Amino acid sequence: MKKTIKTILMILCIPAVPVAGYVIYLLLTYRRVGEVPLVVDRKAKTDAVHVGRAYTVTSYNVGFGAYQQNFTCVLDRYYVRKKNRWKKIRGKNLKAFSGRDAERNTSGAAGTIAGLHPDFALFQEADLDSDRCYHVNQIEAFQRALPGTCSIYCTNIHNPFLCYPLNDMMGRAEGGILSLSSVKIQKADRYELAAMDSLIERYFDLDRCFSASYLNVDNGRQLVLINLHMSYYDKGGTVRARQRKKLYGLIEKERKKGNYIIAGGDFNQDLLVDNPEYPQYTRDNRPFISKASEKQPDEVVFFFDEDPGAGLPEGFRVVASDNFPTCRPAAVAWKPGISHCCVFDGFIVSDNVEVLEHRNIVTATDAMEGFAFSDHEPAWMKFSLKSE
């Protein structure tokens, strides 16, 4: 009897051996890049930004070429009311449907931004060499789309092979944020942001960071161009609050030096509700919310959180547009009119930057309008630097 029990226990332990080995593999390969200088690929010919001249900047989370209109993410949840109960819906994927789809979405995203002819372009979730996008090199694709620009690549995902979901594993991933500038970048640095607590959460929430690029201005000051991509899966937004604090520390320091600051990217927080520039938008009157039968995803938090200052240093404002949402729920396929879309993408600017115009760009396919190549839409802003 004892021998039989021992044999059964040994058989049951067999699957635990590779699982334990895989966990050890994840533990040994996890690392954070930290705060380091970044390599500047110098191709721009213009030496300085000119005070009083109009420039444009874009920010676009391109979703590693996977998030076309019918793509859903297994990490995301969405709630629909069914028979007086909330039903939780999960997405299905962590990988582009195919290499052809990844190439099409990357080409579409690149063409969208190239068609806007921006002076500065910020990209988030752009992959360099990943299984999840079938090794389409998005960094090179965006650099080709905007030739003659300085380029800053800053990694924020460098995962080993992740065997999730089991039906279509994400695999290995290498990607990050990319900044392109038509004006020479003098130097650039990577700043580390707060991370999620558990190891598994950290693998799926990226090695969060932002990059800061320094460009000369013709009055002797500098323009500090920041590209950021904040967390999303921290329920309640506690990690995002710590990330904002880190960002605020840098922009306040640079403003005291007399520099100009533009921080753009995917904040992963609703930028419109309680924004002092949009007094009409409150928790009870949110834009892009239309269906009482649908519930806000758990991860959605508000940048201002009913605080008009939102902890922003004095002399800064949030520039966000309300003509179209910039982020759709990724747990379900896109369709116009779907509820709980948000504006997550925009800019923080210092008071010596004059905002001339801003809007969100709407992409489209032959089938429908909106979110053609990613679960985000680009934010666009025209600005000039004030004389001081």
Work out the percent of the chain whose per-residue pLDDT is above 70. Answer: 89
What pLDDT is recorded for position 9? Answer: 47
Residue 51 inside a domain? The answer is yes
Q: What percent of the chain is helix, strand and coil (3-state, nearest 5)?
A: 20, 35, 45
Question: Is residue 129 pLDDT above 50, yes or no?
Answer: yes
Question: In the predicted model, what is the mean pLDDT of the chain?
Answer: 90
Find the domain containing 320 and state its range: 31-385
Confirm whether 13 is domain-assigned: no
Share of residues in the chain with pLDDT > 90 (%): 70
Residue 231 has pLDDT above 90, yes or no: yes
When divided into structural domains, the chain yields a total of: 1
Residue 73 has pLDDT above 60, yes or no: yes
Domain assignment present for residue 53? The answer is: yes
Say yes or no to pLDDT of 29 above 80.
no
Which of 53-57, 109-113, 274-278 has the least mean pLDDT? 274-278
User: Quick check: is 3 in a domain?
Assistant: no
CATH number at residue 166: 3.60.10.10
Question: The tokens of 385 are what?
Answer: 């630097």
CA angle, 329 then 330 then 333, to 5°: 90
pLDDT in tens, 280-331: 999 888 899 866 667 778 788 999 976 655 689 999 999 999 999 999 999 9
pLDDT of residue 338: 78
**What is the tens place of the pLDDT at every residue in 324-378?**
999 999 999 998 877 789 999 999 999 999 999 999 999 999 989 999 999 999 9
pLDDT at 62: 98
User: Are 62 and 106 within 8 A, CB to CB?
Assistant: yes
Is residue 11 situated within a structural domain? Answer: no
- Given this model, what pLDDT does residue 309 score? 59
Question: From its phi and psi, is residue 371 left (phi > 0), alpha (psi between -120 and 50) or beta?
Answer: left
Q: Which two tokens stand for residue 2?
A: 């004892």
Question: Residue 206: what pLDDT?
Answer: 83
Res 279 pLDDT > 80: yes
User: Helical H runs in the chain?
Assistant: 2-13, 16-29, 99-116, 138-145, 199-205, 238-256
Tell me if 89 is assigned to some domain.
yes
Mean pLDDT of 82-104: 91
Q: Is residue 68 part of a domain?
A: yes
Q: Is residue 336 part of a domain?
A: yes
Whole-number pLDDT of residue 122? 98
Q: What local confidence, expressed as pLDDT, does residue 78 receive? A: 84
